[in-house]
Amino acid sequence: MNTPLTRRGFLRANLTFTFAAATLPHLVPASVLGQGQPSPNSRIQVGCIGVGPQGRGVMSNFLSQPDCRVIALCDVAKRNLDAALQMVSGHYKDQACAKHHDYRELLRRSDIDAVLIATPDHWHVPIAVAAARANKDMYVEKPLGLSVEEDQRLRAVCGLTKRIFQFGTQQRSGSQFRLACELVLNGRIGSLKEISVWASASRPGGSTRPVPPPADLDYPQWLGPARAMPYTDGKAFDGDPADTWKTWWFNYDYALGFIAGWGVHPLDIAYWGHPAMMRGKVGVEGKGVIPTEGACNTSVAWDVRFKFADGVRMIYRGTRNNYEPVTPMNDLRPWEQKFGRAIDHGTAFEGTDGWVLVDRGAIRTSPEDLVETTFGPNDRRLVQSSNHVRNFLDSIKSRQPAVSPIEDSVQADILCHLSDIATRVDRPLNWDPAKEQFVDDNDANARLKMRPVRQGWEWA
């Protein structure tokens, strides 16, 4: 059954929730506690690092929250800074928001409690680590690191500094995703047998012709820790020049591609609905298509198979994104026939007694009446959030973990890395979640390590 997002079943009054208790000491922002001049009811002061289209989209949510104020912006492209400042100044009807070119300047400010990090992917973890060390809570756009080691370092520093962390996997703030996972966790589809996951793959192509960087872009700062490479048509911006499109999303120097950048969303839901997947050894193998020509060199199609210690299997595929051949790696027709729906992204759980499929447009279940499930006081419930930014701000105040906390975020990101590595080595691998390394495979384990960092840009 195809169920629209507004269905009254998602608004049931009995959808209660609990937050995991945080028992360790923590540092609470002065503007929240009222230390110094602000009162306990004063606004949380936010700095935004990376204010391109995605960053401005998330920033608009911060602007809509009455108990916070965006007081500083940072970007290495003037066009982004100017557009973001216009948004902020127009919203607050003043010129009080500050502009910064270097994220380190912003993080040194004692009047900032929390930061939004929405830079290109290769900057996510370096800036997030610096933010934690500066005692700033953080909302970090997905995905996380370019390596598992980066993820581990961020997790460690967030734990040491007791920072509130929110990952940009905002599907956890959608009621249909929470319902789907609670149906699985409470056995409403019987014993879980298989999980199907799919997301838009990377795009092939892109110009490799070196050109001067745009005049308003500080390209050395944009590169940061990534290796020194010439600027090419459209690397950093869509439509600059007019016949190009942004390629950094799909270039391995700066991202894993959409096997992580898009795929982390449905993979995170798979993990949310079945966290036991990472409680024992994991078998993983995969195949992928990685372009060897053009600026884009991340997977444009893939099929990755996981086998978890509890017997549950997971299949993860990438759907077509300007890659024309139809292959078993990107053909969703079998899943469309099975579930009655398979758009360009989604997560489906199959059990002995039924199934549930969820994406951003619908939830479908078999039996159909599963969507009307009423949960009891002894059922397992997940954190309830209807707005990802709102949940982050509430977590800053309460010091309770956000709906997408660092521990879960690392595990979801690791699923992306396992998928990417499996397609690149093209052989069966065994993952040990306790040790967070592959079993008896030095070459695969070397791929978990941090990438070489450009001299002068060391951050770890």
Which CATH number covers residue 61? 3.40.50.720
Instruction: Please check whether residues 274 and 131 belong to one and the same domain.
Output: no
Residue 18 has pLDDT above 80, yes or no: no
Residue 69 has pLDDT above 50, yes or no: yes
Instruction: Please check whether residues 59 and 114 belong to one and the same domain.
Output: yes
Please give the order of strands across the beta sheet that includes 137-140: 98-100, 68-74, 44-49, 114-117, 137-140, 165-167
Give residue-wise pLDDT tens across range 155-195: 999 999 999 999 999 999 999 999 999 999 999 999 999 99
Instruction: Please check whether residues 306 and 423 belong to one and the same domain.
Output: yes
Task: Give the domain-ending residue among 161, 187, 219.
Answer: 161
Q: What is the pLDDT of residue 29?
A: 53
Q: What is the pLDDT of residue 426?
A: 86
Element housing 329 (H / E): none
Residue 13 has pLDDT above 60, yes or no: no
- Average pLDDT, stretch 378-395? 97
Q: Count of H helices and E strands in the chain?
A: 14, 15
Summary mean pLDDT of the chain: 91
pLDDT band at 31 (very low <50, low <70, confident <90, very high): low
C-alpha–C-alpha distance, residues 276 and 274, integer Å? 5
- Average pLDDT, stretch 272-290? 98
Radius of gyration of the chain (CA): 22
- Average pLDDT, stretch 317-327? 94
Assess if residue 260 is contained within a domain: yes
Instruction: Please check whether residues 88 and 137 belong to one and the same domain.
Output: yes
Q: ∠ CA 104-110-113 to the nearest 5 degrees?
A: 90
Domain that holds residue 371: 175-203+256-375+407-446
Instruction: Please check whether residues 130 and 279 belong to one and the same domain.
Output: no
Give residue-wise pLDDT tens across range 344-377: 999 999 999 999 999 999 999 999 999 999 999 9
Instruction: Please check whether residues 334 and 431 belong to one and the same domain.
Output: yes
Assess if residue 117 is contained within a domain: yes
Q: The domain spanning residue 261 has which CATH number?
A: 3.30.360.10
Instruction: Please check whether residues 152 and 262 belong to one and the same domain.
Output: no
- Average pLDDT, stretch 217-229? 97
> Which amino acid, one-letter code, is at 209?
R
Q: Which of 389, 408, 391, 409 shows the shortest CA–CA distance to 400?
A: 391
CB 117 within 8 A of CB 124: yes
Q: What is the pLDDT of residue 155?
A: 98
Instruction: Please check whether residues 157 and 180 belong to one and the same domain.
Output: no
Q: ∠ CA 92-42-73 to the nearest 5 degrees?
A: 45
Residue 387 has pLDDT above 90, yes or no: yes
Assess if residue 91 is contained within a domain: yes
Instruction: Please check whether residues 283 and 421 belong to one and the same domain.
Output: yes
pTM of the model: 0.91
CB 72 within 8 A of CB 106: yes
Residue 241 has pLDDT above 90, yes or no: no
* DSSP at 156: H
C-alpha–C-alpha distance, residues 89 and 244, integer Å? 31
C-alpha–C-alpha distance, residues 379 and 14, integer Å? 12
Q: What is the pLDDT of residue 7?
A: 35
C-alpha–C-alpha distance, residues 7 and 312, integer Å? 30
Q: What is the pLDDT of residue 38?
A: 35
Q: Looking at the 3D structure of the chain, how many domains does it have?
A: 2
Structure tokens at 379: 């059922």
Q: What is the pLDDT of residue 266?
A: 98
Please give the order of strands across the beta sheet that includes 437-438: 363-366, 355-358, 346-351, 192-200, 313-319, 301-308, 282-289, 429-432, 437-438
Residue 407 has pLDDT above 90, yes or no: yes
